Amino acid sequence: MLEFKNVTKTFGDVTAVQDLSFKIEEGQIMGLIGQNGAGKTTTFRLLLKFLRANEGQIFWNGQEISADDYNIIGYLPEERGLYPKLSIRDQLIFFAELKGKKRKDIEPKIDYWMEKFQVKGNKKDKLKKLSKGNQQKVQLIATLLHDPKLVILDEPFSGLDPVNAGILQDGILELKKQGACVIFSSHNMNNVEQICDHLIMLKSGQTVLKGKVSEIRRSFGRTRIFLESDLTPQDVSNIEGVKNAFVHEDGVLEVVLTDEKAGKAIFDLATKQGYIPMFNQQPPTLEEIFRMKAGAPNE
C-alpha cells in the first residue's frame, strides 16, 4: 500500500503541493489529474525521492519509503529517455539489471511484452528505427519488465493513437490484476474514467477533487439529459431548472439543468404522447467537471 500523509512541498514562496493525502491499496489504480503546473509531476518526484518534502511523510506498506524500495518501483517519465542507438533487447536488459534482475530471467519476458504491446520491430533492432509510438511502447516495457509492485506513469497516453492507447490501457489493467499499485497522470479524462478506481485532482498544488470517479460525478447531480423525442429546445426552455438546451447533429436533444429535479417534468412532457426511443439523465462527464474545477477558485 502506498500512502501520502499531509505532504507539502514549496519552492521559495511557491507551494507546489499542499497537504496532499491519499492511499492506494494493492491492485488499485489512482488517476492524478490537473492542469499543467498543478503539482502532478512534483508529486511523482516526491514519491521517487528526487525532491524532499517540507512537511508530511510517504509510506510504502507502512514504512517510510526509502532507497531500499526503488527496485520494486516502475517509473515512466513524461519526458522519455531511451538510447536510440542501442537495440531494444540490450537496453531493456540494461534497465532491468539496474533493478536487480538477472539477464536469464529477463530474456523471455522481452518477447512476452513486445507481443503484448504489439511492438512493430525485432528486439535486435535499434530503437531509432522504430516509430515514435513504438518507441513509447518500449519505454513502457522498460518500466514494467522487472515486475514492479508500484508503478508511476506520467502522461503514458501522450502521443498515442486510439488503438495503441487501448493496448496500453489493457497493459495497465493487467498490472492491476497482478496486484500492483498504479498511479498515473493524464489529460485524457476518458482514460481516467475507464480505468481508475479513484482519482485526485490538483489545482495550484491543492486537492480540489478526491474519490471514486462515479461518486465524484454523482456529487455534481444528474444535470445532463439526452433524449430522442419530438421536443425542441424551445419546448423545454421555460421549465424551471433548465439552463439551456440544444440539438446534436444526430438529432439528440441535450438539456442542461441547474436542478436535476427538472428531469421529471421533462420526462413527463416528452412521454405525453407515449413511447420515446431514449431518455437518459446523467451527471456531467469527468471532462466537464475538470473544466469546471480548473476554472473555479481553489476550495
Question: How far is Cα of residue 220 from the mean position of the Cα atoms in its chain?
Answer: 20
* 138 and 264 inside one domain: no
- Dihedral, CA atoms, 32, 35, 39, 41, nearest 10 degrees? 70
> Looking at residue 211, what is its pLDDT?
95
| pLDDT tens-place string over residues 86-114 | 999 999 999 999 898 999 888 889 999 99
pLDDT along the chain (299 residues), means of 10: 96 96 96 94 94 96 87 86 88 91 90 89 89 87 91 87 87 90 91 92 96 93 96 96 96 96 97 96 94 73
* 64 and 180 inside one domain: yes
Helix (H, G, I), strand (E, B) or coil at 267: helix
250-265 exposure pattern, b = at least 16 Cβ within 10 A, e = fewer: eeebebebeebebbee
* 200 and 235 inside one domain: no
Given 192, 217, 242, the domain boundary residue is 217
Provide CB contacts within 8 A for 233, sequence distance 6+: 244, 245, 246, 247, 253
CATH number at residue 55: 3.40.50.300
Q: Which domain holds residue 136?
A: 2-217
> Looking at residue 296, what is its pLDDT?
63
CB atoms within 10 A of CB 40: 27
* 43 and 187 inside one domain: yes
* 134 and 22 inside one domain: yes
* 208 and 229 inside one domain: no
* 120 and 27 inside one domain: yes
* 181 and 242 inside one domain: no
Number of domains in the chain: 2
* 49 and 91 inside one domain: yes
CATH number at residue 258: 3.30.70
Distances in Å between the Cα of 202 and the Cα atoms of 12, 31, 55, 209 are 20, 11, 18, 7
User: Taking the chain, what is the end-to-end CA distance rounded to the nearest angstrom?
Assistant: 28
* 265 and 204 inside one domain: no
Global pTM reads 0.85
Helix (H, G, I), strand (E, B) or coil at 295: helix
> Looking at residue 197, what is its pLDDT?
93
Helix (H, G, I), strand (E, B) or coil at 31: strand
